Amino acid sequence: MNRIRVLIVDDSVTIRKVLRATLSRHDDIEVVGEAGDAFEAREAIKTLNPDVLTLDVEMPKMNGIEFLEKIMRLRPMPVIMVSTLTQAGAATSIEALELGAFDCVGKPDFDGVVEKVRIAAHAKVRPLRERSAEPLAHASYHCGDKVLAIGSSTGGVEALVTMLERFPANCPPTLITQHMPPTFTATFAARLDRLCAPHVAEASEGAPVKPGHIYVAPGGERHLELQGAGWHLRCRLVEAAAVNGHRPSVDVLFGSVARIAGARGVGVILTGMGRDGAQGLLQMRQAGAHTLGQDQASSTVYGMPKAAFELGAVERQLALSRLAVAALDLCSSEIRGAA
């Protein structure tokens, strides 16, 4: 069995010891080295050729974000960021995920780090992309009566930025469930709001769902649902048990859009581990909605889109670069055909 080779980069000796002990308990993982700063890490990467890197956000000499950007430009590889789950930690983690980091784990518990290392070792990693210069031209989309729902998980931050930065200011009302810790979603929504032409905010109870607005499900104890009828739609935050191990759950969002919007819905399932969203997207398609899935080649982790496709929930699979135009076409009052 080929073991997964991991390099730990953190200026804290204690954190390095904890991570080494956590990972070394598993026979399929080998910690091949440690580094206390970016310069040590650079040499260690050259010498040890690790499969996966764990990278501290806050380090001396060069912080983790600066080093990550260099890695993703010059030697793309799976990187798991290690961060405190504070507001400041959330902001830097979101930036890291946008740069192409595979995922984040929080200090000091490192919940899920072993499974994330395993999946990261087989994930698709691409060089850092250039930002799109302009959103889609206003004339390319005519606001109709459709509601767009998007679900994503691992790799979703980068995928959502890629999609939403192409959206015009008068985009269809859009609801998003992205699997994230509670402290991350408000920061992520604010980040999207700065990058995108539409208004983006964390969803709140009773918020009216209207064109030109994008609503991100808050992480934590509640699911995001669509509620209402006709043009009078609003966000509903539901306190309920986790679904597919997640709260908020993509299945819950998609299921509510199937019930409330029916054929007026458009669903998109993006990169992510597991199968959350597959059943809900099937419900949307059965209710007459159009559905899209990210294809395997462009997915960081082809888990959620694969599960949905195999279930028959996905009408069309497309590369990430084509999903924004395709989704807007389906939501437009003048559908112009496939992207």
Report the catalytic residues. Answer: 153, 179, 276
The reply to whether omega before 218 is within 30° of 0 (cis) is no
Q: Which residue has the tokens 């819950």?
A: 252
**56 class by beta-carbon count within 10 Å (0-12 exposed, 13-18 middle, 19+ buried):** buried
Which DSSP category does 202 fall into? Answer: E
The torsion angles phi and psi of 290, rounded to 5 degrees, stand at -85, 145
Return the structure tokens found at 122.
């087989």
- Collapse the DSSP code of 176 into the 3-class scheme (helix H, G, I; strand E, B; otherwise coil) and give the result: strand
Nearest in space to 254 (alpha carbons), one of 230, 275, 232, 239: 275
- Collapse the DSSP code of 314 into the 3-class scheme (helix H, G, I; strand E, B; otherwise coil) and give the result: coil
Contact 41/9 with Cβ under 8 angstroms?
A: yes
Return the structure tokens found at 43.
């040499």
Max CA pair span of the chain:
61
Contact 83/114 with Cβ under 8 angstroms?
A: no
Nearest in space to 307 (alpha carbons), one of 283, 276, 285: 276
Contact 77/125 with Cβ under 8 angstroms?
A: yes
The torsion angles phi and psi of 18, rounded to 5 degrees, stand at -65, -45
How far is it, in rounded angstroms, from Cα 209 to Cα 226? Answer: 8
